[in-house]
A and B are shown apart, each in its own frame.
Chain A
Amino acid sequence: MRGSPLFHVILVVLGLLGLAVPLSWLTRARTPEAVAPTAGEKLEPSLALTPARVVMKFAHAPATVRLAQGGRELVKEEALAGRTRVKAQTDVELAGGEFKLDVTWPAGTPESAVTLTVEPDGHEAATATVWGAETLGEIIKLEWRP
């Protein structure tokens, strides 16, 4: 370490400042780029469709969850890490909707319940509870009061 100590300090600080720019760029939060929906992925917009939140609550944490509505997959989760609540967004016709729910639980899980709630914006929620022992495959029909 020859030369002026002050010079060393300045060199170190300049070096770190040089690192600061790429570091701050790498660590800052970003909004993920929007992915354009593929054909058939989104329901045709219609006056009869109302945006809705879908919430599934599990008595025991599941291993995998799949939820589909009219052939469209709303949820496909295979790494739930102990979560007991899973959400999705969809559009529903207030006359009613049909949901296909498939769940698996880890081996040894006792018979367990899933509550599916669909909350159309501005309307009362509709709820159904179904039961399964380690696996569940159920078609659930829900209706909302317009």
Chain B
Amino acid sequence: MRILLAMAGVCGIMQKIYIKPRHRDASPHHMKHGIFSITLLAVLLSGTFTAAAVERLKVATLHPLLADLAAQAGGERVEVKSLLKPGAEAHRFEPAAAEVASLKQTKLLLACGKGLENYLGKLRDTLPAGVLLVEVGKTIPSIKMEDVCLHDHDHDHDHGKDGVDPHWWHSADAVSRALDVIGEALAKADPAGEAVYEANVEAAQKKVAAVKSWAKEQISTIPKGDRKLVTAHAAFGYFCKEYGFKALPVLGSAGEADESPQHVAEIIKTIREMKIRAVFPEDQANPKVLKEIVRETGVKVGADLIADGTSPGAGSTFEGMMRHNVTEIVKALGVTPAKK
């Protein structure tokens, strides 16, 4: 289409030069115009071919954090869109049929994996031909919430599929692996860009490492005994493991409410016994149970944490989410003011 438009435009210019004067003699003046026009046509057409040759690779993601990582790894060579928009609910999302059909030109579809998208099997069967679906979290080591959970597990509240926490984006190490997986998937879909993707991934890895160093430095101001993270839902397993916290989620890993009096009483008891200093609501989780716990215990309430990485703006990027969460956790639990 672009080639045709360019040709039509150039033909128009040439017609203006050649035909309008209605001179049929081949004077040097008109020869010059002719050569100029042909050169212009060739330049424009070669530009059009070049543009076609480096047409951007279309990548879709099932999470805005993946879109952030794919954009970093792909740079100028990719056009990334997230089907799950910032502000939407990651645990309730499923792409509509029209959204799946719109992936016809897409070469690569990135999913978080680890059971977050429980519709993946169905989606795989309905994807347009030629779309490569990659579960980015597949090779990341899984964490079971019970490994980092503060309370005993006689209760039956949900901790994710097979007890696995799907929120791997709270770990810089996991994000670093994800970047490699994404870089390799991009190179598979667009082999000509492999060197570019490698260089972009290397640059993005440095940013991730810098965020991890910064987070460790900030968290070092929290006494080890106070590294207990009471959050609205079971989303911080990877964060807790990487930064030495114990987790006490009020709701399950998909935010399912267990408002039974026994469950609430157990959490209140744990908060009192462990002398927990603060609890953290989340940007998208139901605060009802947390409010009740705060009322009963008088514990300090921290700022909303970003759990699912779907907050609008910087909250749907790894760096923005981490800097926000660490800053707020340190503000509530640290013993010295956090440096930003």
Q: Does A141 sit within 8 A of B, measured CB to CB?
A: no
- Which stretch, B37-45, B98-106, B270-278, touches the partner chain A? B37-45
In the complex, A53→B198 CA distance in Å?
Answer: 14
Q: Does A46 sit within 8 A of B, measured CB to CB?
A: no
Task: List residues of chain A with CB within 8 A of the CB of B141.
Answer: 122-124
Check if B191 sits within 8 Å of A32, measured CB to CB: yes
Query: B193: nearest residue on chain A (CB-CB)?
Result: A29
In the complex, A24→B3 CA distance in Å?
Answer: 12
What is the size, in residues, of chain A's interface with B at 8 Å between Cβ atoms? Answer: 31
In the complex, A87→B173 CA distance in Å?
Answer: 16
Interface of B is mostly: helix
Task: List residues of chain A with CB within 8 A of the CB of B282.
Answer: none
Check if B139 sits within 8 Å of A122, measured CB to CB: yes
- Which stretch, B10-18, B118-126, B258-266, B309-317, touches the partner chain A? B10-18
In the complex, A32→B190 CA distance in Å?
Answer: 11
Check if A9 sits within 8 Å of B15, measured CB to CB: yes
Q: Report which residue of A9, A31, A32 has the largest number of chain B beta carbons within 10 angstroms of its beta carbon.
A: A9
Kindly supply a per-residue 1/0 record for chain B positions 142-183, scoring 1 wherever the CB is within 8 Å of any chain A CB and 0 otherwise: 100000000000000000000000000000010001001000
Task: List residues of chain A with CB within 8 A of the CB of B49.
Answer: 20, 23-24, 27
Task: List residues of chain B with CB within 8 A of the CB of A51.
Answer: 139
Q: Does A6 sit within 8 A of B, measured CB to CB?
A: yes
Check if A121 sits within 8 Å of B138, measured CB to CB: yes
Task: List residues of chain B with CB within 8 A of the CB of A24.
Answer: 49, 52-53
Taking a contact as CB atoms closer than 8 A, the residue among A6, A27, A29, A85 that contacts B15 in the complex is A6
In the complex, A53→B34 CA distance in Å?
Answer: 58
In the complex, A16→B138 CA distance in Å?
Answer: 49
Q: Does B30 sit within 8 A of A, measured CB to CB?
A: yes
Q: Does A30 sit within 8 A of B, measured CB to CB?
A: yes
Check if B18 sits within 8 Å of A6, measured CB to CB: yes
In the complex, A55→B177 CA distance in Å?
Answer: 10
In the complex, A75→B81 CA distance in Å?
Answer: 35
A27-B38 contact, Cβ under 8 Å, with A8-B18, A9-B14, A84-B202:
no
Q: Does A2 sit within 8 A of B, measured CB to CB?
A: yes
Check if A1 sits within 8 Å of B190, measured CB to CB: no
Taking a contact as CB atoms closer than 8 A, the residue among B138, B190, B202 that contacts A85 in the complex is B202
Check if A9 sits within 8 Å of B180, measured CB to CB: no
Taking a contact as CB atoms closer than 8 A, the residue among B14, B191, B198 that contacts A29 in the complex is B191
In the complex, A20→B52 CA distance in Å?
Answer: 12
Instruction: Give 25 A-B contacts (CB < 8 Å), ordered by A residue.
Output: A1-B30, A9-B11, A9-B14, A9-B18, A12-B38, A13-B11, A23-B49, A24-B52, A24-B53, A29-B190, A29-B192, A53-B177, A53-B180, A83-B198, A83-B202, A84-B202, A85-B202, A119-B177, A121-B138, A121-B139, A122-B138, A122-B139, A122-B140, A123-B141, A124-B141
